[in-house]
Structure 1
Amino acid sequence: MTSATAAAACGEHALLDDAVRFVTARLHEDGPRLAPAYTMTGGPVPDQRTLGLPGYPGGYDRIGNRVRRQFQLDAFGEALLLLSAAHRLGRLDTDGRLAARLAADAIAHRRNEPDAGIWELGNRRWTHSRLICAAGLRSWAGLAPDGRAASLAALADRIVADASVTCLHPAGRWQRSPGDPRVDAALLPPLRGALPAGDPRTRATLRAYARELTAGHYAYRFRHDERPLEKAEGAFLLCGYVMALAEHQQGHREEALRWFERNRAACGAAGLFAEEYDIRQRQLRGNLPQAFVHALFLESAARLATPPS
């Protein structure tokens, strides 16, 4: 869905249409049991296993993904954002509109359940999952052709209000979950419309994230432990482009371009991005190529070329 959102921003309608058909079909088939990931044919992702091969450098020989057994609430919010983008471009049919209704209904029924979250961790009431669902509901409420706009907007308001009670840090920023006060790259959902760019919670979260989880215009997901950030994992290139978009949304064009150019330079010789980048050894880390990094790269390039909305 990240790739399809980028396709919408870049005007690549053929890719957008394919993604909408795929997500629509999955929602019609699975409804509130929507999986976080599927194979290209719409089947379940194979379970994780090893191949018994050496990794380089220090990598793993795993294939498949444990995500097949997870529930991720945020998938419904992302689906609504995708279907809304298609609808604005006049590219959503009756099946797509019904899929949006199924996604909204799933949020209404499952919004209080713990989920694995965007980083596929243990089940909690992750703040990001709730806020991205609110973003999706707000987006679809502005377009809903079935007279549900008011109820969808009200549900989004309730989700944000509930999150403010349990997931707002004393410093005025969002925290990861009710029991985890740390900041996280996933806590920038105002990019998708959960809250206005000028909301104090939005700005406080952006400032805290930039202060605690970035270095030299490279960004990290979250702090794993007391080790320096770069010792725990590589800079997450996806997050670098999220920072470019966040600064652009705030009207900080020069800073947004700094983020974009620094992370753009972290590609390999073939011009492809990996999931992570080791800023000390100047090496790519993790999965290569990684589609979501390329998607955010393309979306950032398209959005930074226009004034913030």
Structure 2
Amino acid sequence: MLDLELPGGTSHDLVLEISARRLPERPVAEELWSATEHTWQRVVPPLDGTVAPRDARHTYAVLRGLTTAAGGMVAAATLGLPERAEAGRSYDYRYVWLRDQCYAGLAASVVEGDPLLDDAVAFTSARVLEHGDKLLPAYRTDGRPPPDETTLRLPGYPGGRPIAGNHVNGQFQLDTIGEMLQLYGAAARHDRLTPDAERAVDVCVDLITRRWNEPEAGVWELEDDWWTHSRLACVAGLRAIARHRAPAAAAQLAGLADRLLAETTDRCVDHRGAWLRAPGRIGTDAALLLPPVRGALPATDPRTLATLQAVRTELCQDGYVYRFAPDGRPLGEAEGAFLLCGFTMALACRHQGNDVDGFRWFERSRAACGPPGLLAEEYDVRQRQLRGNLPQAFVHALLLETAHRLAGDAQS
């Protein structure tokens, strides 16, 4: 217990020491503040070329803060913050999702090479080379698989459960492999593709070749199915890396991409010409807006246009976007709006040349942040509250990318 009385007009610094052993000498608070400010000023670029420099700098700092010294970026800093009170959807996101780190690297690669890009390339390629066809969607920051889920015997957030570990350690997610190829294509564009990443490219292409037709858990980590987004993510990744290969190898990659696209079109297009979530599943998915932006299909392709219209009609409400309609309930009753999808919609509008709508979706989505400027995975539109763990890395990554691309001078 500490009783501290401060006369008016004075201040007193408190230093919290977290260490396995006593520090050799008492730190000076002023020096700690100065060192902290200097470090963040050094690692966070000005980002004046974006449409929202202050938010872009803030979100860049969030992504750097979630990235460990070993290069792995955790998906969020928390666990057990529920997506829906008493719904059993409480998770531990303190692990490195390879897909999420690819999104951060891709955001940093829009205009130039960047440490976020280099970290993403290094961490993902190390996991690919170490685990090969047993590649997991997520890892601990030291490269080990996440532990199994266990419920902690601790009080948790109201409506949630304090769960440590993650069930993703038993899943295969094909879309992650496509996202990694997109990342490596971006690195190659900036001449930042390392020898390890070159080898990882070959492993990823082999994995897609052998496993593209298998059921898998997909971007939303659901039950195994033939998820459309996963195949289109691979199409985009194969096309991205083909641009940086010799003609013969490029033709082979393009041929595989064409085969995946043709088969996916045969199985996963509805009567309107829009992409279905998976064969036999009614309705579309907001994640399907992203593959055309990444180069899987042109902006003018009928499937791209029909899917964009379907998402607008089925999954948008009050300026927010939902992932998909899980059942017959109205939007917002089953789960919150998905902030990642709001930024994806902004990118899709920009891809169509409609920057005005792109700005509208961008402004609406970034305004959902709380007072610290952090964004969670979901937003409860009716209660005006963030839902789920935070800060959610892939949401911040898409905010950063959108802020770059809406500036109008970003590289493709």
Taking the TM superposition and a 5 Å limit, the aligned residue runs for 1:31-46 are: 31-46=132-147
Q: Secondary structure at the match of 1:230?
A: coil
What corresponds to 1:303 in structure 2? Answer: 405
Pairing 1:157–2:234 present: no
Pairing 1:285–2:371 present: no
User: Which letter maps to 1:117?
Assistant: G
Q: Secondary structure at the match of 2:138?
A: coil
Counterparts of 1:269 and 1:57 in 2: how far apart (Å)? 20
The structural deviation recorded for 1:147 is 4.0
Contact 2:112 2:190 in 1 (8 A): no
Contact 2:113 2:190 in 1 (8 A): no
What corresponds to 1:185 in structure 2? Answer: 286
Aligned residues: 309
Pairing 1:133–2:238 present: no
The structural deviation recorded for 1:66 is 0.5
Q: Secondary structure at the match of 1:204?
A: helix
Pairing 1:79–2:183 present: no
User: Which letter maps to 1:254?
Assistant: V
Query: What fraction of aligned residue pairs are identical, expressed as a percent?
Result: 56
The structural deviation recorded for 1:57 is 4.4
Counterparts of 1:157 and 1:177 in 2: how far apart (Å)? 18
The structural deviation recorded for 1:17 is 0.8
What corresponds to 1:9 in structure 2? Answer: 110
Counterparts of 1:296 and 1:137 in 2: how far apart (Å)? 21
Q: Secondary structure at the match of 1:148?
A: helix
User: Which letter maps to 2:238?
Assistant: L
The structural deviation recorded for 1:146 is 8.3
Counterparts of 1:130 and 1:211 in 2: how far apart (Å)? 24
Q: Secondary structure at the match of 2:237?
A: helix
The structural deviation recorded for 1:60 is 3.1
Does the C-alpha gap of structure 1 residues 278 and 10 become closer, same or farther in structure 2, counting only changes over 3 Å?
Answer: farther
What corresponds to 1:250 in structure 2? Answer: 352
Taking the TM superposition and a 5 Å limit, the aligned residue runs for 1:1-309 are: 1-9=102-110, 11=112, 13-145=114-246, 147-188=248-289, 189-306=291-408
Counterparts of 1:168 and 1:112 in 2: how far apart (Å)? 17
Counterparts of 2:248 and 2:149 in 1: how far apart (Å)? 43
User: Which letter maps to 1:3?
Assistant: A
Counterparts of 1:171 and 1:160 in 2: how far apart (Å)? 18
Counterparts of 1:219 and 1:85 in 2: how far apart (Å)? 27
The structural deviation recorded for 1:10 is 5.3
Contact 2:209 2:256 in 1 (8 A): yes
The structural deviation recorded for 1:181 is 2.5
User: Which letter maps to 1:231?
Assistant: E
Q: Secondary structure at the match of 1:277?
A: strand
Contact 2:293 2:351 in 1 (8 A): yes
Contact 1:117 1:126 in 2 (8 A): yes
Contact 2:175 2:218 in 1 (8 A): yes
User: Which letter maps to 1:232?
Assistant: A
Structure 2 residue ranges without an equivalent (≥5): 1-101
User: Which letter maps to 1:306?
Assistant: G
The structural deviation recorded for 1:207 is 0.4
Does the C-alpha gap of structure 1 residues 251 and 146 become closer, same or farther in structure 2, counting only changes over 3 Å?
Answer: closer
- Tell me the alpha carbon deviations over residues 41-99 of structure 1, each in whole angstroms, 9 at most, x when there is no partner: 11101222222444444233222210010000111101100011001001012221111
Q: Secondary structure at the match of 1:42?
A: coil
Between 53-62 and 137-146, the greater mean CA deviation after superposition: 53-62
User: Which letter maps to 1:215?
Assistant: Q
- Tell me the alpha carbon deviations over residues 15-50 of structure 1, each in whole angstroms, 9 at most, x when there is no partner: 211111111111111122211111111110122222
Counterparts of 1:98 and 1:266 in 2: how far apart (Å)? 41
Does the C-alpha gap of structure 1 residues 119 and 51 become closer, same or farther in structure 2, counting only changes over 3 Å?
Answer: same
Of structures 1 and 2, the larger Rg is shown by 2
Name the Cα RMSD after superposition.
1.5
* TM-score, with structure 2 as normaliser: 0.73
Counterparts of 2:339 and 2:333 in 1: how far apart (Å)? 16
The structural deviation recorded for 1:258 is 0.3
The structural deviation recorded for 1:11 is 3.5
Counterparts of 2:132 and 2:216 in 1: how far apart (Å)? 16
Between 45-54 and 76-85, the greater mean CA deviation after superposition: 45-54
Between 20-29 and 242-251, the greater mean CA deviation after superposition: 20-29
The structural deviation recorded for 1:12 is 5.6
Contact 1:10 1:299 in 2 (8 A): no
Counterparts of 2:353 and 2:247 in 1: how far apart (Å)? 35
* TM-score, with structure 1 as normaliser: 0.96
Counterparts of 1:171 and 1:150 in 2: how far apart (Å)? 31
The structural deviation recorded for 1:13 is 1.1
User: Which letter maps to 1:261?
Assistant: E
